[in-house]
Amino acid sequence: TVARSCLPQFNLDGLWVGKYGDHGYEMINITYSGDTLIAYKVTGDKNVPKGEVSFQVDLTMELQQQQAQNNNILQPIELSEDATRQWGTKHLERFSGKGQVAAEGFVNNQWLEGQLILVGDYFSFAWVPLGHQVFFGRPSAELTLKMLNASKEQGGAKKQES
């Protein structure tokens, strides 16, 4: 709908890059299935490989209203005056989600509580129990090609090792 297209949480489709701690920079592709935001890994790591879901967030208005009734809704993060000047907003909207984690080799994969946080033209996703947060930005065309080529080369090297 037209109203939905005005909500920033519904306009995150496409490629994003974020630094996944020691795993380095990884690329995700955000798509939507109804009101659920799904972040698929375009490049992966030894724990959660490419093609798997990194995180997902249910943005259903009914869910948000239900959480509000139960006083379980995530309140926006209030920024300091300096941060407000930097980001051009006093509050950062956030939404409950689930982030996937796994042991090396995509073993014992599980979903942990997470939060999607909107930060201007960027966003972050936090795996709450781990205290791990990844900030995402849009990649340039050059960076996209570089990361896709590196991912392809790593995939080829793994096949030769097998």
Contact 29, 15 (CB under 8 A): yes
pLDDT at 109 over 90: yes
Assign 156 a pLDDT band (cuts: 50, 70, 90). low
Give this prediction's pTM: 0.82
To the nearest whole percent, how much of the chain has pLDDT over 70? Answer: 83
